[in-house]
A and B are shown apart, each in its own frame.
Chain A
């Protein structure tokens, strides 16, 4: 089999992450993610394609606070696409785990199967405050109630970057595609690029001794690679 030319991937440097959650907000804005009331959020109905998980370990005063931005890992061996009864989620040739909202029947098998709980469900019809409605991103589909959704690696930006490169009659360059979360990160903890190109910045970082993948023992082979001096979930 011919080796894929493009395999999109992301690196997140946990040693640089300050837990500001700007990525979560940028993602919400970019991808038309709906708002939920505080009551609904408490019930667990909040949608955050990018979620910053913070863990506090240890006893006061020796506590350690760690941040872990969690998004869809776009696994090489996804647990979610396997179980979808209608092929509404699938792995595309560029390694993205994509979701066809118009085909999804809302059985939530994928949301249950994902070991990272990275998938979300539209319990109600998505809603925005009146003043926010004008800022909806025209490049991103607005979901209906009853379908699953998750991070797409800003596939609309990938498409736009490809179009631009085509207009300028050149190949896609490293750094052409910048997802919203990568763009906004104040400490430049995130990078996005082509893992199949061994010279790209993400590929280089993925070979770093600091690199690890989330729940790697499950064999899902995530394409989101974390960098950290210490284990993110050290127990002491």
Chain B
């Protein structure tokens, strides 16, 4: 069964989005641009007046900016898992999916760290964190974040760019638009055997390198919390828990992006139900792992029953955060499980419903890690921290989502979102291996 390897021989559907621009594209870009502009205005308002315009306070010193940071960095894990791990394991069905995923990684990695910058009280002193030239200290987990995220951004841009080269060269030769850009970026690619060999070697190196970097990124994001001694943050499970959560929301974001691209760019011939099915199975695995980690984390706290930890525990299960907690469990576990476990429901619609639900739930999960712990300081001073995000925080969040979409929209206008040359490259050896892949058994 090699239905997923059969793609139309005429790839005009993949180049069309670059050549023709419809009315809806302009409308969506204009809308996104307005939301981004509003977000930037809100940020300006915040810089002018101070962080007091947010809902943050003492003791809830960190709010949805930090939740957004973890959320977007989580989404950025879409690219790595799908591309790198599937490349390493030689899962051939990944071919039409990888570039969508890698692009999400790059753009989410642009948006994510901006949250930390927005969260700074003195943005003008941002450069103080540079080590060696300024005062940056590697002792602080924030510096670990800076290093890992920078490495991951450079790595994932390279990872996106390398397999783009043959396609850019093809565009350079085929179309008349933006020749200077394609000519520069194609780096003189002619498709000679030597060039192909170099590209393949570089890709194999990058594939292996990017996996530990990606794991490190979300681990150190978790360690920002876990390295403190605050109740329900100071946990050894946090590193792996965050990595799983990141891959979970990453795949979910990928499925949503794929479904939109499929409809908007008429890629039905390329992004087939079987891809959604395979990704759905991966998503289900992550869903179960996420539930297992969450369960382990909460049971350990509950059974140990240290008073200060129980304060936070009961803030989530029985306190003011309970509604969010219930929604998190429903959207992160129950809904995805219902739609992903039975083969019948693991359709495009089913996986998209599960994915939207997961992204809502995973944002709540990050929020529920940050706010409840901060609301219950160890020294009880006769009350709880209360946090209501303001219009500034919500506008900035909307602006960030719009930025991510806008970058993606611009990308699909310049580059083919599906790797054309990889679809064509399909030698006999691969045909044989495809049949041996365990993924085949799932279909």
Contacts and interface: CB of A to CB of B under 8 A. Distances in A.
A120 B58 CA distance: 7
A85 B140 contact: yes
Interface string A196-224: 00000000000000000011001000000
A147 B121 contact: yes
A149 to B, nearest CB: 11
B377 interface: yes
Given A44-B385, A117-B377, A146-B51, A106 B140 contact: no
A106 to B, nearest CB: 2
Given A51-B381, A53-B382, A103 B125 contact: yes
Interface string A101-123: 00111111101110111001111
A79 to B, nearest CB: 6
A214 B121 contact: no
Interface in B25-62: 49-52, 55-62
A124 B50 CA distance: 5
A87 interface: yes
B229 A218 contact: yes
A43 interface: yes
Given A86-B134, A115-B378, A146-B122, A108 B49 contact: no
Contacts of A166: none
A226 to B, nearest CB: 12
Contacts of A86: 125, 128-129, 134-137
B140 A82 contact: yes
Contacts of B228: 79, 83, 112-113
A14 interface: no
Which of A45, A79, A113, A145 neighbours the largest number of chain B CB atoms within 10 Å of its CB? A113
A44 B137 contact: no
Interface in B95-141: 116, 119-122, 125-126, 128-129, 134-137, 139-141
Contacts of B347: none
A62 to B, nearest CB: 19
B143 to A, nearest CB: 5
Contacts of A117: 58-59, 377-379, 381
Interface in A127-158: 144-148
A164 B135 CA distance: 34
A159 interface: no
B67 to A, nearest CB: 13
Contact of A146 (B50, B380, B381): B50
Given A84-B140, A86-B135, A45 B57 contact: yes
B428 to A, nearest CB: 54
B135 A116 contact: no
B279 interface: no
B285 to A, nearest CB: 33
A83 B60 contact: no
Interface in A68-116: 70, 79, 82-88, 103-109, 111-113, 115-116
Say which size band chain A's interface belongs to: 35 or more
B51 A214 contact: no
Contact of B379 (A83, A84, A111, A214): A214
Contacts of B51: 106, 121, 123, 145-146
Contacts of B135: 86-88, 103
B230 interface: yes
Contacts of B120: 105-107, 146
A44 B58 contact: yes
B121 A121 contact: yes
Nearest to B121: A106
A40 interface: yes
B129 A105 contact: yes
Given A79-B228, A109-B140, A147 B378 contact: no
B128 A55 contact: no
A41 to B, nearest CB: 10
A121 B119 CA distance: 13
Contacts of A83: 139-142, 227-228
A125 interface: yes
A212 to B, nearest CB: 14
Interface of B: 49-52, 55-62, 116, 119-122, 125-126, 128-129, 134-137, 139-143, 146, 224, 227-230, 374, 377-382, 385-386
Interface of A: 40, 43-46, 51, 53-55, 70, 79, 82-88, 103-109, 111-113, 115-117, 120-125, 144-148, 214-215, 218
Closest 8 CB pairs of A and B: A106-B121, A146-B121, A44-B57, A123-B52, A85-B142, A145-B50, A85-B140, A124-B52
5 contacts: A44-B60, A106-B125, A117-B379, A117-B381, A121-B51
Given A85-B142, A86-B128, A120-B58, 5 more contacts: A45-B52, A115-B377, A121-B61, A145-B50, A145-B52
